[in-house]
Amino acid sequence: MKSYKSFRLFNEKISFLMDKKAMIVIFILFLVTSLVFVVSTGVGEMNINPLSVLQVFIGGGTESDRLIIQSFRLPRIIVALLVGMGLAVAGGILQGMIRNPLASPDILGITGGATVAVVGFLAIFSDKNHSLTVSINWLPLAAFIGATVVALLVYSLAWKNGVPPIRLVLIGIGVMALMKALTTMMMILGPVYQASQANLWITGSVSTSTWNNIAVLAPWTILFLLIAFLYARNINLQELGDDLATGLGGHVQKQRFTLLMISTALIGGSTAFAGGIGFVGLMAPHMARRLVGSSFGVLLPTSALLGGILVMVADLIGRTLFSPLEIPAGVFTASIGAPYFIYLLYKTRNS
């Protein structure tokens, strides 16, 4: 126990006394995130210069600028930022917990579980006019339940006197395939308009975001991001391996389960309002690791900023590149993420 306390104290010093490079990287990424946020808000079918955007932010600007920004653009951009941050941090947690840079919410099937739940929710509670018959506020709960059920299923199937990371990955891949099959079956059996709506969710898009979505998603995501940041030292312990972590006095299996639930909550909330945006949870933590190293006290905040940037940029490209046609953000994250995943596989082929 004394060894574990010493490790925790050391880890806390690493987390709070960041080296100058990590602080500079995080500060620069914060500025880039802010810049992308402002630019994305001003770009569209009607371009608004950044100064006018900032004026609207502080309560000024013309009536037309306020209408465009506040009613149409800000909700989707804020949701894109929150979703990117949630998926990136969830991916970082899973990679640290499993000790594998190839781990992600998609590969473990957790995103698939949330998607199945959301598609099922839309099928059950949508009327013929494509409108929900219950409050949209129940959607994150449905996604969280779906993600949680799959996470618990994967965890229980992987249990063998504990949960070895490699078993967790292999079983997660199998469950992911099952979730895709269930989603496809619901789309085939449901009405045509439901299949179209479900396809949008599976691809991943923030185009239907509203202020009501933000009112639910923002507190949910911020709460679990804070929990993840505070719990980061336990991920560092997980990366030492089960034997060494246990020798230091860590409760490995309890911590692993808690980390899985934190990532599940972030994935569930993100999927509820943006669908199955893929590869963000894979790319952002890996990019962050190259910038600030592997200490999760700095890795998770860096991943969050990178994830927010990735999804905001993907949404910006999707709604402007082929205007007036709009492409879901998930198409662009997948088009970047799939080659990046192949690159990671190549880089780790001898690991």
**Nearest-angstrom CA–CA distance, 330 and 311:** 8
Could you tell me what percent of the chain has a pLDDT over 70? 83
Cis bond upstream, residue 75 (ω within 30): no
Quote the pLDDT of residue 115. 82
Quote the pLDDT of residue 284. 92
Contact present, 49 and 38 (Cβ < 8 Å): no
Nearest to 200 by CA among 336, 328, 72, 332: 328
Tokens for 63, please give them.
């009536």
Question: Which residues, in sequence order, are bridge partners of residue 132?
Answer: 126
DSSP state of 71: I
Quote the pLDDT of residue 250. 57
Query: Is pLDDT at 86 greater than 90 in this prediction?
Result: yes
**Nearest-angstrom CA–CA distance, 91 and 300:** 9
Q: Helix, strand or coil for residue 208?
A: coil
Q: Where are the beta strands (DSSP E) in 52-105?
A: none
Quote the pLDDT of residue 238. 64
Tokens for 35, please give them.
């810049």
Quote the pLDDT of residue 135. 74
**161 Rama class: left (phi>0) / alpha (psi -120 to 50) / beta:** left
Query: Is pLDDT at 1 greater than 50 in this prediction?
Result: no
pTM of the model: 0.85
